[in-house]
Structure 1
């Protein structure tokens, strides 16, 4: 649900977050509800500020339980180090906020009950977001660490799978607690949110590489030069295996060889993606030359 548009950024609230807030408000915790909303918003604005430092424009922010998802003008996976830095800024902000609340409480500027709630909420949000599964910040840090080994798509799929597993574990924990007579509305909401959001990101993985390629095309045409990652590929290699060796941030160029080590064709990554679109990911590299 869209709630506002500020400085060109569209702010939305997930239905899961609305359920979370309603659960708080329904038991008479209206003040706490507003504070949680504010803490989550500041967490996401920390990501927005970090992205702006790299010259990346934020297009949309969707608030979710214990965090949010920001959509940027370019895919962050193009630079794993940059994605990791932007991701870690969210939890870092929460821990700094918790420390500030404790300092203000000791100085007498805020009440003990308010400070305790802010400290506990920020620490909980910060730690939860460091869990290694997409869409959480820890999942994005994990993906950034795996990109050099598994490639953009492989790392994204693994981090999304971890996110789904974490969500299912939280749902199971909620079910076990309910069976034992300790009903906790928060756990099913969080578990459902993780499974839903991780599955959504997994479905969007195929578009990550396309967006990255189009971005590199624009940058190359604007700058006139770009670093190249050169790959030697046998004509019987599967296209899905070829793209796993693509390097984000570089223009990937493929040399297709036959069994006599004669070059069949020279192609850029856009040609490879077109071949995958036309013939499927299991098609052979020889189809690029046709």
Structure 2
């Protein structure tokens, strides 16, 4: 369903991954509008719930399909990454509170749900011999690193498309940062907000300003030199 929804919205499918909760589509569309991406992520659980409704009155194997699709659909609506509900919450939070708070909030939510599923999974395994919740905790909820990777990808696409937002709004909020000369470009990018244009002052060890760069200069240097390049080397 993700791939079909993406195609209908004019987005490209890069690859499919098989997860315990179903197929996961990787899209070449993070630069698309958040509204489009929300519809894509909603299409996954919506497809499962629609299939569950079709088999709701069935018996035998049809009953199994009803229960399986209902469980997968509801599971994917849980607001934790990388489930569809978590992807939607990530997009909503990122657009309203920025990357740092989004990463912190989703990290707490993911840890809480993972712990809950792990505890319930152990109880379910002991009492009923059913390991399904334990599998969900271990396999479907992989922890913080994939969330950080997704956030970094979204942050970069947001920065590269900042120009269009500024041209559209004409007046745009700005933010000043200071960075030591030996800071890498990658470290600086991690500190940039979603809805601010950034001006970065570069300091030496004596706390003197040795130069000033904008986020656009940082991004151009990132493309040409890589994330490990120090900001000192791009000062003009």
Distance 2:103 2:23 in 1: 18
Deviations 1:99-134 (A, max 9, x none): 2223xx5xxxxx522332222211111111111100
Structure 2: state its 5+ residue gaps. Answer: 167-171, 181-186, 203-210
Match for residue 21 of structure 2 among 66, 85, 97: 66
CA contact 2:179–2:188 (8 Å) conserved in 1: no
Match for residue 129 of structure 2 among 156, 159, 183: 183
Structure 1: state its 5+ residue gaps. Answer: 1-45, 106-110, 218-224, 259-263, 281-285
Name the counterpart of 1:123: 70
CA contact 2:103–2:151 (8 Å) conserved in 1: no
Distance 1:208 1:153 in 2: 14
CA contact 2:13–2:26 (8 Å) conserved in 1: yes
Distance 2:97 2:179 in 1: 21
In the TM superposition, residue 146 of structure 1 has moved relative to its aligned partner by: 0.4
| 1:58 partner SS | strand
Deviations 1:212-243 (A, max 9, x none): 168649xxxxxxx7232552415479947851
Distance 1:157 1:52 in 2: 32
Deviations 1:70-94 (A, max 9, x none): 2111326x63322221111111111
Name the counterpart of 2:165: 227
In the TM superposition, residue 187 of structure 1 has moved relative to its aligned partner by: 1.8
In the TM superposition, residue 57 of structure 1 has moved relative to its aligned partner by: 0.7
CA contact 1:174–1:188 (8 Å) conserved in 2: yes
Deviations 1:227-272 (A, max 9, x none): 32552415479947851x224xxxx6434579xxxxx746234516
Match for residue 146 of structure 1 among 89, 93, 107: 93
CA contact 2:34–2:91 (8 Å) conserved in 1: yes
Distance 1:154 1:279 in 2: 26
| 1:134 partner SS | coil
| 1:226 partner SS | helix
* Structure 1 segment 250-269 matched on structure 2, within 5 A: 253-256=197-200, 265=212, 267-269=214-216
Matched, 1:85 2:32: no
Aligned residues: 214
Q: 1:97 to 1:208 in 2, by over 3 A?
A: same
Name the counterpart of 1:20: none
Match for residue 94 of structure 1 among 43, 48, 53: 48
Distance 2:158 2:81 in 1: 22
Name the counterpart of 1:42: none
In the TM superposition, residue 64 of structure 1 has moved relative to its aligned partner by: 1.3
| 1:69 partner SS | strand
Distance 1:214 1:253 in 2: 9
**RMSD of Structure 2 on Structure 1 (CA):** 3.7
Distance 1:59 1:100 in 2: 30
TM-score normalised according to structure 1 size: 0.60
Name the counterpart of 2:149: 204
